[in-house]
């Protein structure tokens, strides 16, 4: 954690030799933006955007957009892999995370 405030955070994250510094902005709780400000593989407009929309049935829809622009050969290859065969694996992992959060929220309400 480099810096934080009520509606933002500046954090470096990574594993396996890949890291990125992200600026988190949650000033709009329905639209969370994480922009890559520095990385050893990602550049350009890389980042994540999550948009939450309340549905009439009381549930919430989540739209996730991830942009990966490689800034070097390693990043371009990794971006290609993530954009093709990695997409289904990442979608499954994300779905499992959402399910775990929903289960936890339901357990806390009961």
pLDDT tens, residue by residue, 52-62: 999 999 888 88
More confident residue, 31 or 58: 31
Q: Is the overall model pTM greater than 0.85, yes or no? A: no
- pLDDT value at position 5? 95
pLDDT score of 90 more than 80: no
State which residues form the domain around 91.
Answer: 3-109
Q: How many domains does the chain have?
A: 1
pLDDT tens, residue by residue, 10-30: 999 988 899 999 999 999 989
- pLDDT value at position 80? 86
pLDDT band for 107, please (50, 70, 90 cuts): low
Average pLDDT estimate for 94-106: 74
The greatest distance separating any two alpha carbons of the chain, rounded to the nearest whole angstrom, comes to: 50
pLDDT tens, residue by residue, 32-49: 999 999 999 999 999 999
Which residue, among 52, 17, 49, has the nearest Cα to 36 in the 3D structure? 49
């Amino acid at each position: 954690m480099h810096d934080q405030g009520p509606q933002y955070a500046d954090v470096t994250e990574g594993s396996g030799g890949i890291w990125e510094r992200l600026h988190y902005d949650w000033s709009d709780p329905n639209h969370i933006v994480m922009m890559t400000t520095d990385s050893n593989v990602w550049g350009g407009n890389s980042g994540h955007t999550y948009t939450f929309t309340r549905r009439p049935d009381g549930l919430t829809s989540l739209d996730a957009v991830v942009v990966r622009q490689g800034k070097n050969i390693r990043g371009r290859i990794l971006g290609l892999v993530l954009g093709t065969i990695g997409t289904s694996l990442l979608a499954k992992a994300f779905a499992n995370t959402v399910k775990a959060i929903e289960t936890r929220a339901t357990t806390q309400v009961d």
